[in-house]
Amino acid sequence: MLDPKKLEEIAKQISEAVPPGVRSMAEGAETRVKQVLQSQLSKLDLVTREEFDIQSQVLIRTREKLEAMEARITALEAQLEENK
Protein backbone atom coordinates (compact mmCIF):
# COMPACT_ATOMS: atom_id res chain seq x y z
CA MET A 1 0.00 0.00 0.00
CA LEU A 2 2.58 2.56 1.09
CA ASP A 3 6.15 2.66 -0.09
CA PRO A 4 8.31 1.04 2.63
CA LYS A 5 11.28 3.19 1.60
CA LYS A 6 9.22 6.33 2.18
CA LEU A 7 8.22 5.08 5.64
CA GLU A 8 11.84 4.28 6.41
CA GLU A 9 12.83 7.77 5.31
CA ILE A 10 10.17 9.42 7.51
CA ALA A 11 11.12 7.25 10.49
CA LYS A 12 14.78 8.12 10.00
CA GLN A 13 14.03 11.85 9.83
CA ILE A 14 11.99 11.66 13.03
CA SER A 15 14.71 9.63 14.72
CA GLU A 16 17.40 12.12 13.64
CA ALA A 17 15.34 15.01 15.02
CA VAL A 18 15.59 13.50 18.52
CA PRO A 19 18.43 15.01 20.59
CA PRO A 20 21.57 12.77 20.84
CA GLY A 21 21.15 12.06 24.57
CA VAL A 22 17.61 10.90 24.10
CA ARG A 23 18.55 9.02 20.95
CA SER A 24 21.02 6.85 22.84
CA MET A 25 18.32 6.00 25.40
CA ALA A 26 15.86 5.18 22.66
CA GLU A 27 17.82 2.45 20.90
CA GLY A 28 15.69 1.06 18.13
CA ALA A 29 13.53 4.19 18.03
CA GLU A 30 13.72 4.34 14.25
CA THR A 31 12.36 0.82 13.96
CA ARG A 32 9.63 1.52 16.51
CA VAL A 33 8.64 4.79 14.82
CA LYS A 34 8.46 2.96 11.49
CA GLN A 35 6.24 0.27 13.04
CA VAL A 36 3.94 2.85 14.60
CA LEU A 37 3.73 4.82 11.34
CA GLN A 38 2.98 1.67 9.36
CA SER A 39 0.35 0.61 11.87
CA GLN A 40 -1.40 3.97 11.93
CA LEU A 41 -1.20 4.56 8.19
CA SER A 42 -2.57 1.08 7.47
CA LYS A 43 -5.71 2.07 9.40
CA LEU A 44 -6.36 4.89 6.95
CA ASP A 45 -8.43 4.24 3.87
CA LEU A 46 -5.76 5.17 1.33
CA VAL A 47 -4.98 4.04 -2.20
CA THR A 48 -1.77 4.26 -4.14
CA ARG A 49 -1.39 6.82 -6.88
CA GLU A 50 -1.31 3.96 -9.40
CA GLU A 51 -4.63 2.59 -8.12
CA PHE A 52 -6.15 6.07 -8.21
CA ASP A 53 -4.99 6.67 -11.79
CA ILE A 54 -6.34 3.30 -12.92
CA GLN A 55 -9.74 3.98 -11.35
CA SER A 56 -9.80 7.45 -12.91
CA GLN A 57 -9.28 5.91 -16.34
CA VAL A 58 -12.00 3.32 -15.67
CA LEU A 59 -14.37 6.12 -14.67
CA ILE A 60 -13.58 8.11 -17.83
CA ARG A 61 -14.27 5.08 -20.03
CA THR A 62 -17.47 4.33 -18.12
CA ARG A 63 -18.69 7.90 -18.56
CA GLU A 64 -17.93 7.74 -22.29
CA LYS A 65 -19.90 4.50 -22.61
CA LEU A 66 -22.79 5.95 -20.61
CA GLU A 67 -22.92 9.04 -22.82
CA ALA A 68 -22.90 6.85 -25.93
CA MET A 69 -25.70 4.70 -24.52
CA GLU A 70 -27.74 7.78 -23.59
CA ALA A 71 -27.35 9.14 -27.11
CA ARG A 72 -28.37 5.76 -28.55
CA ILE A 73 -31.44 5.57 -26.30
CA THR A 74 -32.43 9.11 -27.29
CA ALA A 75 -32.10 8.17 -30.96
CA LEU A 76 -34.11 4.98 -30.47
CA GLU A 77 -36.83 6.86 -28.59
CA ALA A 78 -37.00 9.44 -31.38
CA GLN A 79 -37.21 6.65 -33.94
CA LEU A 80 -39.98 4.99 -31.93
CA GLU A 81 -41.93 8.24 -31.82
CA GLU A 82 -41.61 8.62 -35.60
CA ASN A 83 -43.02 5.12 -36.15
CA LYS A 84 -46.16 5.78 -34.08
pLDDT at 33: 80
Number of domains within the chain: 2
The model's pLDDT over 13-52, given as tens digits with 9 standing for 90+, comes to 887 787 777 666 666 777 788 888 888 888 888 888 999 9
My answer on whether 54 and 80 are in the same domain is yes
pTM for this prediction? 0.49
Q: How far apart are CA 8 and CA 51, in angstroms?
A: 22
Q: Residue type at 73?
A: I
My answer on whether 31 and 65 are in the same domain is no
Closest by alpha carbon to 1, among 44, 34, 47? 47
My answer on whether 27 and 56 are in the same domain is no
My answer on whether 37 and 63 are in the same domain is no
Structural domain boundaries enclosing 20: 1-46
Spell out the residues 6+ positions from residue 47 whose beta carbon is closer than 8 angstroms to its own. Answer: 1, 55
pLDDT above 60 (res 1): no
My answer on whether 6 and 39 are in the same domain is yes
The model's pLDDT over 44-83, given as tens digits with 9 standing for 90+, comes to 888 889 999 999 999 999 999 999 999 999 999 999 999 8
pLDDT at 23: 62
Q: Residue type at 1?
A: M
Q: Which long-range contacts (CB under 8 A, 24 or more apart) does 69-76 make?
A: none
